[in-house]
Amino acid sequence: MKLLSAGASPYVAKVAMSARFAGVDVEETPVDATNGDPVLDAANPLSRIPCLVLDNGEGLYDSRAITRYVDRLSGGRLYPSADPDLLHVERLEALCDGINDSAVGYVYELRFRPEEKIHQPWLERLWGKVERALDHVQRDLPPTGTDAHMGSVALAATLGYLDLRFAGKWEEGRDALVAWRDAFDAAHPDLTGLKPRG
């Protein structure tokens, strides 16, 4: 299977890391999701990444649909089988995706708008969402070792994106979250190279 990807995407990182963690082989294939790419357009009519191209040529999207598919292929390696544990993991994954939405939106506001049209109150609103969510996560951190799950992987990918784009901005007052990141990386060195990179 081919994972249509871009190196800096936290959503791609989440999928790539979850597949590696679950023991499911995917081959990353870089595409240009910003300017358009015929390979991506053919696999996903929304032209968004990540998109997993299955062995039959069909595209699967978005990241949560892909991680659920990877979980099924792995025999349930990523998600607990029943509530309340399942609900806890799904909530954490959704929260991490929301952090990514806000952080990527912040970057895009600065990157794609002319300087005179950048809306500072909107940037502050986006960053406030990131900070509240990080503080919420820090109060109930997931496992990092062999008992890690999809929520753990999602959080590691999200923190990888924040390290890439907001190093020095997100860590203050979050020593436990920084320590969690370091513990996860130490426990899963095979995943660190799959974090967002640019």
Instruction: Please spell the DSSP secondary structure of the chain, one letter per residue.
Output: -EEEE-TT-HHHHHHHHHHHHHT---EEEE--TTT--HHHHHH-TT--S-EEE-TTS-EE-SHHHHHHHHHHHTTSSSS-SSTTHHHHHHHHHHHHHHHHHHHHHHHHHHHHS-GGG--HHHHHHHHHHHHHHHHHHHTSPPP-STT--HHHHHHHHHHHHHHHHHTTTS-TT-HHHHHHHHHHHHH-HHHHTTS---
Instruction: Give the pLDDT score at 198.
Output: 84
Domains and CATH numbers, the chain: 2-73 (3.40.30.10), 85-192 (1.20.1050.10)
| Average pLDDT, consecutive stretches of 10 residues, N- to C-terminus, the chain (198 residues) | 97 98 97 94 96 97 97 98 97 98 97 93 98 98 97 98 98 98 98 95
Cβ neighbours around 132 below 10 Å, total: 12
Q: What is the pTM of this model?
A: 0.96
